[in-house]
Amino acid sequence: MTTHSQIAGNKFRTILLILLFMVIFFAFFYIAGLYFQDAYSLLIFGLLFAVISSIGSYFYSDRIVLAMSGAKSANKSDYFDFYTSVENMSIAAGLPIPKIYVIEDDSMNAFATGRNPKHAVVVATTGLLGKLDRAETEAVIAHEISHIKNYDVLIATVVAVLVGTLVFAADWMLRIRIFGGNNRENNGPLVAIVLLVSLILMPILATLMRLAISRNREYLADASGALLNRNPDALANALIKISGDNIPLQTASNATAHLFIENPFKSTSRNAKLISLFATHPPVEERVKRLREM
Amino acid sequence: MNTLTIVGIIVLGIIIYLIFSYNRFQVLKARIKEALSGIDVQLKRRIDLIPNLVSTVKGYAKHEKSVFENVTKARSQLMKAGSLEGKAEANNMLTDALKSLFAVAEAYPDLKASDNFKDLQRQLEDTEDKIAYSRQFYNANVLEYNTRIKTFPNNFIGKMFGFTEEPFFTATEEEKKSVKVEF
């Protein structure tokens, strides 16, 4: 499939996934509302909690991630290829040039963050910059710049807030259910069973949806990046090099893992199918296959 | 609701759509203009690097006068160029003149080893990439605008307000010729 068709397909799939997610979200609170009088207020409280806990990370994602990862500002003379790659891909994307940082680490990885193009940051490890050639570096940067252009931090935050709301509300409802509370008396055991199943299953389902959306946006960043540097093979080669490299990133944590170009936690065992549902990134083989088709 | 109200709502809807569509055309057109000047920004970067390069090389190879003259002449041609094609041709002439300059520099090992020269050389190569990407971005904007002019229902609205297709940036005949590499 051509680059353009893949981009269109991925954008369409994002909309489908978000719609499906909204259906799950409202179904959950509808079912909850059948049993709990307070379901509406739980929705509001859950939303508030989730928003407040996400506000900090949304507005300061660039500074937080930089502090957590120990990144240092990269200057043009020391990192000419990296710096000019970021400049050139920004020109191709029509975006302002993001702040450019390096992490001194032997692992190969790169990420971009920032709530919008004006507050964006691109980071790469010295391991990656040392092992990729100019074209491959540029391809990785094109992928990262595409994340910025496609507002993926905003989308991920919105989805995380919605998942958070659902998870908070489900948690409270389970407590109320166990410890007794404001229940509507006129419902039979069927509703109780449906509710119990929902309270346990739907948060899991919501999390799976969030990860599905994350993987979908990764495919989109691959395709958008290819449209910027016009060299999908370079990204495919870079991904193969990165995935073959088994050194895990020292400063990665669960909170930042989804931002990286490849899963920074290298898995040693291969429970492929199960792990793939919970992965923030699609499998490298599939990404390479789609890139080679462009 | 009587028929008059319904007709009124439909007419209002159409007017609102026309406003949005017209504004969208103007936004896309403005982006094309900005992208066009973006190409000029990168050309200027190239123009600005030349005097430094010429003086650096002169420091080591004073007597290679013809080469310097060609580069300086090509530079001022580029500064004067007006149309999109004119600028492309002038830029190509500058690239050719620079090739001769770098070929001449091969004979001066001190110059080749100088950090200043090496840095200027890679910066100039980088400006060629930057010019290419800025042209690519210009084409991307033209693509979006031209697609909109041709697709339904905006093609009618476009015609109504007199919006016409914009040209893509294309390679000149010189650029399409295959490059001869001689050692």
Position A146 scores a pLDDT of: 94
Task: Name residues whose C-beta falls within 8 Å of residue B69's C-beta, 6 or more positions apart in sequence.
Answer: none
B60-96 pLDDT tens trace: 887 778 888 889 999 999 999 888 888 888 888 898 8
Q: Does any CB of chain A come closer than 8 Å to the CB of residue B126?
A: yes
- Contact assessment for residue B18 and residue B120, using Cβ atoms and an 8 Å cutoff: no
Position A268 scores a pLDDT of: 46
- What's the whole-number mean pLDDT along residues A135-154? 92
Rounded to whole angstroms, how far apart are CA atoms B111 and B123?
A: 16
Contact residues on chain A for B31, CB-CB shorter than 8 A: 94
DSSP secondary structure of A38-92: THHHHHHHHHHHHHHHHHHHHHTHHHHHHHHHT-EEPPTTTTHHHHHHHHHHHHH
A151-204 pLDDT tens trace: 888 888 888 888 888 888 888 887 776 655 555 555 567 777 777 888 888 888
- Contact assessment for residue A222 and residue A290, using Cβ atoms and an 8 Å cutoff: yes
**Check: complex ipTM more than 0.90:** no
Position B43 scores a pLDDT of: 92
Q: Does any CB of chain B come closer than 8 Å to the CB of residue A80?
A: yes
User: Which pair of tokens denotes residue B132?
Assistant: 């290419």
Of A249 and B88, the one with more pLDDT: B88
Contact residues on chain B for A117, CB-CB shorter than 8 A: none
> Among the listed ranges A55-59, B23-27, B50-54, B143-147, which one has the minimum average pLDDT value?
A55-59
Angle, helices B154-161/B115-150, rounded to nearest 10 degrees = 100
Of B13 and A60, the one with more pLDDT: B13
Of A34 and A204, the one with more pLDDT: A204
Q: Does any CB of chain A come closer than 8 Å to the CB of residue B78?
A: no
Q: How many CA atoms lie within 13 A of B105 on its CB side?
A: 23
Position A166 scores a pLDDT of: 86
Contact residues on chain B for A227, CB-CB shorter than 8 A: 140
Task: Name residues whose C-beta falls within 8 Å of residue B2's C-beta, 6 or more positions apart in sequence.
Answer: none
A227-239 pLDDT tens trace: 999 999 999 999 9
* Chain A residue whose CA is closest to B126: A84
The mean pLDDT of chain A is: 83
Choose from B42, B126, B142 for mutation: most chain A CBs within 10 A.
B126
Rounded to whole angstroms, how far apart are CA atoms A177 and A172?
A: 8
Q: What is the phi/psi pair of residue B164, to 5°? A: -120, 165
Q: What global pTM score does this model have? A: 0.84
pLDDT at B183 over 80: no
Residue A87 appears among annotated catalytic residues: no
pLDDT at A252 over 70: no
**A:B CB pairs within 8 Å:** 29
Q: Does any CB of chain B come closer than 8 Å to the CB of residue A163?
A: no
- The three-point CA angle B69-B73-B79 to 5° equals 150
